[in-house]
């Protein structure tokens, strides 16, 4: 995969440095749908967060490549995102090509891979540290290797690199008694993964400088959160939050910080009164209903990908061009939007936030609460 490494970073901050979602973006990894493989429907971890309306897609294509036309259209949109970022002066890096159709075996199970489309799920950059998540889907066990050359390059340039212990993902890691139809038992949210081994995806964390919010989900458990907390140490406060998403997997369609003091919330899952006290002095902005109908090609996600945009800095936000109500709302609140087509990427399970991971944002590690 070609990337643009021709521009050299300004050197007065580390090569890898990102503390929040809104500081000026200087370098970013953008994923790829090249070689993407459709998961099997009978995979319980996939079923737990997959909309029932998408079952036909997994039954038809499970274990096979995504249809070529879907891959091509999504990759065109990714290339468009890369061009917009490059034109804004952001250095864009891309993963290596990897054959996700190869079946691999561990002592407990076998699987094919998924894709390298969503680096946000794998890598959490906290200041100068890249945290590589252990993941919780078998088809994502080796996904980080598509990014390995990049991460090694960043390591050689001085970044810290923590890789969390991977779960065996053996049968007892998943809960046989879990049913997506029963999201709560006695008021307690249920998840398909157990607590018997460490698990988290990076996209269940959202960074506000020295405070980081995280949710338990169908890919992130309490042990995983504790692992991150201990490794980041006392300089950081890791706040566990829970909202109304019945099948949570990744927090970046639930709450999205826009800049210090402004938080966008998904009103169908987050009630203002349920936000942690941390936000008592923040302006809370409710996102408008998504434009894309939920019965369409959203195979892997909720319809709230509308909120899964990418901030270039605290005033400029790259958004999906069809999300007119969101664009209007953001502009009303003083942000400049940069609309681009990204609808064809949605069926892979995310939008621009998922499709990227920050490598460098120019700013300081601060407290915002």
Binding site for ligand ABU (CB under 6 A): 203, 249-250, 252-253, 301-302, 304, 349-350, 354
DSSP string, 116-135: BS-HHHHEEEEBTEEEEP--
Q: Kindly name the residue from 19, 82, 259, 354 that is annotated as catalytic.
A: 354
In whole angstroms, give the CA distance from residue 104 to residue 307: 35
Considering 204, 245, 250, 252, which one is annotated as catalytic? 250
| Cβ at position 354, least distance to ligand ABU in Å | 5
Q: Provide, rounded to whole angstroms, the least separation between the CB of residue 176 and ligand ABU.
A: 24
Active site residue 250: yes
User: Smallest distance from the beta carbon of 252 to ligand ABU, in angstroms?
Assistant: 6
- Between 159 and 221, name the residue whose CB sits nearer to ligand ABU: 221
- 201 is annotated as an active-site residue: yes
Alpha carbons 167 and 173: distance in angstroms, whole number: 8
Check 121, 201, 252, 313 and give the catalytic one. 201
Q: Are 252 and 15 in contact (CB under 8 A)?
A: no
Specify the residue, 15 or 220, whose C-beta has the smaller distance to ligand ABU. Answer: 220
- The nearest distance, CB 287 to ligand ABU, in angstroms, is 12
Tell me whether strands 237-241 and 91-93 are parallel, antiparallel or unpaired.
Answer: unpaired
Nearest CB to ligand ABU, comparing residues 74 and 91: 74
| 19 labelled catalytic | no
Of the pair 90, 249, the CB lying nearest ligand ABU is at 249
Bridge partners (DSSP) of residue 99 are none
What DSSP assignment string belongs to 307-346?
G--EESSSSEEEEETT-HHHHHHHHHTTPEEEEE--TTTG
Give residues with Cβ within 8 angstroms of 133, minimum separation 6: 121, 122, 123, 124, 164, 200, 201, 202
Residues noted as catalytic: 201, 250, 354
């Amino acid at each position: 995969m070609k990337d643009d490494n021709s521009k050299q970073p300004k050197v007065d901050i580390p090569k890898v440095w990102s503390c929040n979602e809104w500081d000026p973006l200087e370098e970013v990894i953008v994923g790829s749908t090249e070689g993407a493989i459709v998961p099997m429907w009978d995979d319980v971890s996939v079923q737990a967060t997959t909309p029932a309306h998408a079952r036909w897609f997994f039954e038809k294509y499970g274990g096979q490549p995504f249809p070529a036309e879907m891959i091509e259209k999504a990759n065109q949109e990714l290339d468009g995102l890369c061009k917009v970022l490059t034109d804004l002066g952001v250095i864009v890096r891309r993963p290596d090509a990897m054959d996700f159709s190869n079946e691999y075996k561990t002592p407990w199970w076998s699987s094919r891979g998924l894709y390298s489309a969503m680096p946000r799920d794998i890598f959490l950059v906290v200041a100068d540290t890249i945290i590589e998540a252990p993941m919780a889907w078998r088809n994502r066990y080796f996904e980080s290797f598509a990014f390995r050359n990049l991460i090694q390059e960043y390591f050689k340039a001085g970044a810290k690199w923590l890789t969390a212990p991977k779960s065996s993902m053996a049968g007892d890691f998943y809960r046989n008694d879990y049913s997506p139809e029963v999201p709560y038992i006695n008021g307690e949210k249920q998840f398909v993964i157990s607590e018997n081994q460490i698990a988290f995806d990076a996209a269940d964390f959202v960074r506000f400088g020295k405070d980081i919010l995280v949710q338990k989900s169908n890919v992130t458990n309490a042990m995983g959160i504790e692992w991150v907390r201990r490794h980041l140490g006392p300089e950081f406060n890791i706040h566990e939050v829970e909202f109304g998403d019945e099948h949570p997997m990744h927090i970046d369609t639930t709450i999205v910080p826009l800049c210090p003091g402004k938080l966008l919330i998904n009103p169908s899952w987050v009630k203002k009164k349920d936000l942690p006290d941390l936000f008592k002095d923040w302006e809370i902005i409710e996102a408008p209903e998504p434009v894309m109908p939920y019965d369409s090609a959203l195979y892997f996600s909720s319809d709230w990908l509308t909120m899964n945009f990418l901030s270039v800095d605290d005033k400029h936000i790259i958004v999906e061009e069809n999300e007119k109500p969101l664009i209007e709302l953001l502009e009303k609140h003083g942000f400049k939007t940069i609309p681009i087509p990204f609808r064809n990427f949605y069926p892979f399970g995310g939008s621009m936030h998922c499709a990227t991971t920050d490598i460098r944002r120019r700013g300081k590690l601060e407290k915002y609460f």
